[in-house]
Amino acid sequence: MKRIWLLAMLFAAFAWAESGTITIGFTVSKTGKYNVESVNQLHGIELWQKWINDQGGIPVGGKKYKVALKYYDDESKSDRVQQLYSRLISQDKVDFLISPYSSGLTAKAAIISEQYGKVMVATGAASDSIFKLGYQNVYQIYTPASRYLTGTIDMIRAADANLKKLAIVYEDSKFAKAVATAAKGYAKEKGFEVVLFEGYPSGTTDFGPIINKIKASGAEALVGGGHYADGATFARQLYEQQAPLKLVALLVAPASDEFAELGDAAVGVVAPSQWEPLVKYKPTCGPTPAEFTEMYQKAYGKVPAYRAAGGFAAGLVLQRAMMDAGSIDPAKVRKALDAMDITIFFGRIKFSADPATHGLQLGHEMVQIQWQKKDGKLTKQIVWPLDAKTADLIYPAR
Interface positions with another protein (CB under 8 A): 30-33, 35-36, 75, 172, 198-201, 204-206, 208-210, 212-213, 215-216, 229, 232-233, 240-242, 261-263
Nearer to another protein, 240 or 392 (CB): 240
Compute the C-alpha angle 301/305/311, nearest 5°.
100
Sequence-ordered list of residues with C-beta below 8 angstroms from that of 218, at least 6 positions apart, any chain: 165, 195
Q: How far is the CB of 230 from another protein (least distance, A)?
A: 9
Nearer to another protein, 172 or 338 (CB): 172
**Distance (Å, whole) CA 74 – CA 89:** 15
Nearer to another protein, 129 or 233 (CB): 233
Q: How far is the CB of 235 from another protein (least distance, A)?
A: 12
Q: How far is the CB of 53 from another protein (least distance, A)?
A: 29
Cβ atoms of 113 and 85 closer than 8 Å: yes
**Distance (Å, whole) CA 389 – CA 382:** 5
Nearer to another protein, 56 or 244 (CB): 244
Q: How far is the CB of 318 from another protein (least distance, A)?
A: 29
Q: How far is the CB of 63 from another protein (least distance, A)?
A: 41
Give how far Cα 109 sits from Cα of 112, 115, 312, Å: 5, 10, 19
Buried b (16+ CB within 10 A) or exposed e, 230-259: bbbbbbbbbbeeebebbbbbbbbbbbbeeb
Q: How far is the CB of 59 from another protein (least distance, A)?
A: 39
Q: How far is the CB of 204 from another protein (least distance, A)?
A: 8
Nearer to another protein, 163 or 196 (CB): 196
The DSSP annotation for 131-182 comes to: GGS--SSEEE-SPPGGGTTHHHHHHHHHH-TT--EEEEEEESSHHHHHHHHH
Nearer to another protein, 240 or 341 (CB): 240
Cβ atoms of 344 and 286 closer than 8 Å: yes
Phi–psi pair at 341, nearest 5 degrees: -150, 90
Nearer to another protein, 23 or 31 (CB): 31
Nearer to another protein, 229 or 317 (CB): 229
- Positive or negative torsion for Cα 135, 138, 140, 144: negative
**DSSP-derived secondary structure letter, 392:** P
Give the SS3 label for residue 310.
Answer: helix
Q: How far is the CB of 211 from another protein (least distance, A)?
A: 9
Give the SS3 label for residue 91.
Answer: coil
**Distance (Å, whole) CA 104 – CA 118:** 19
